[in-house]
Amino acid sequence: MWHVAAYEYTRLAGRKGFWFGMLSLPAVIILMIVLIGILIILEINTTPIGYVDHSRLLENPVPAPTPSGIQPPVPMRAFSTEEDARQALDAGEIQGYYILPANYLQTSNVQLVYQKEPKSPAQSQFTSFILANLLARQEPQVRQRIIEGNFITVRALDNSRQMEADGFLSMFLSLFVAIMFFVAIFSTSGYLMKAVVEEKENRTMEMIITSISPNQLMAGKIIGNLAVGLTQILAWLLFIISGILAANNVFQPSQPMQIPWELIIKLSLVLLPCLIMLAGVMATVGAIATEEREGQQISGLIVMPIWLPYFLLAPMIENPNSPLAVALTLFPITAPMTILLRINFTVIPAWQLTISIILLWLSAIAALWLAGRAFRLGMLLYGQRLAWKVLFRKSA
């Protein structure tokens, strides 16, 4: 069994498709980061912003607050007359200049003069500069608090769960991890189904079973495929965690990104038996099907219910503790995606998680048993499809 598992692992891990799939995700993320970095660099312009103050608000100006993130501060340059500001603009000494009229405090109207519109970071910094001076008589903490703006907290009606502003990142990360997990599941399980079908077609099975039992052969294949899928998932998780830690160290944001370890552990307890269950199902399909195309059609019908909670996303978010949500949580096929969605919007009771995990493991064991039985009954049926009803006959 372990020889078969090692062979399957090295065979699949040596495929170009495996390395392409494993490296494609980091490559896409790195490309997105590079593109975002380029866009940020294009927005950077430290040329001063000028202003002409007829309202006398900025006679003794309070310095503009230091911008957050990686944007550098843009100097604010005062001009006594609009003619001086215009000359500086024509000479390229400033990006543009604001004109504050004498009745600015009553109307809040300003005029921006430019040849090429200043970048949005420069305009937002001038807005913060004006706010700081409007609040100059307030205490520093009050002034800073108003300039920073609102912090939104989304709280469930039953007070079972609340999400801060940075909680949306955790929600996105959990959804990303789940999609990543299912991509790995379908790719590796597809390899397993394809391998079983091919070995049936080319009669390799008839030679292999002369030196190994059918159950050992199927168990080795499933273990090897599971190891390949887990390798891919662990590589992606390490890349994501390393990226989060690096981003916190490099950019040093005011609210560092947190790694949701508790969420990752809960998802692992749910998704691991799901991976084993689907591997067993795919192996069963491979043992039953007569050709690869037929196996793909059958497997598509089997795995489709996994995404059912996604199509019920609206009612799940509106009422994550509804009877429908609980039922989908306890049903093994829909449990992984349902738990993933609910865990972001409510606290799932411990008894529901426990029962769901137990049912998933029982389903995984049943799928492995079914795969071994299907393989044992169908390995010598060359060119013939094993009927599903035969699998459940006691005399079979």
**Mean pLDDT for back-to-back runs of 10 residues, the chain (396 residues):** 85 78 79 81 85 90 76 88 93 93 90 90 88 84 76 68 59 66 68 69 67 78 81 80 72 61 76 83 74 67 78 82 90 86 81 92 88 71 59 57
* pLDDT score of 200: 66
| Inter-residue long-range contacts of 180-184, CB under 8 Å, 24+ positions, other chains counted | 180/25, 180/233, 180/236, 181/233, 181/267, 181/271, 181/275, 182/306, 183/21, 184/229, 184/232, 184/233, 184/236, 184/275
* pLDDT score of 350: 86
* pLDDT score of 69: 63
Q: How far apart are CA 105 and CA 56, in angstroms?
A: 10
What CATH architecture applies to the domain 49-149?
3-Layer(aba) Sandwich (3.40)
Q: How far apart are CA 54 and CA 59, in angstroms?
A: 10
* pLDDT score of 277: 85
Domain locations in the chain as residue ranges: 2-36+163-391, 49-149
Nearest to 131 by CA among 112, 155, 108, 147: 147
Q: Would you list the DSSP string of 34-88?
A: HHHHHHHHHH---S-EEEEESSSTTSSPPPPPPPSTTPPPPPEEEESSHHHHHHH
Helix (H) or strand (E) holding 245: helix 214-251
Residues contacting 258, CB < 8 A, separation 6+ = 166, 170
Q: How far apart are CA 282 and CA 93, in angstroms?
A: 68
* pLDDT score of 345: 75
Whole-Å CA distances, 131 to 31, 152, 237: 37, 21, 43
* pLDDT score of 120: 84
* pLDDT score of 269: 83
Place of tokens 């490296």: 23
pTM for the full predicted model = 0.63
* pLDDT score of 63: 83
Helix (H) or strand (E) holding 354: helix 350-378
Q: How far apart are CA 329 and CA 331, in angstroms?
A: 6
Running DSSP on this structure, what letter comes out for residue 18?
A: H
Q: How far apart are CA 362 and CA 215, in angstroms?
A: 18
Q: How far apart are CA 166 and CA 34, in angstroms?
A: 23
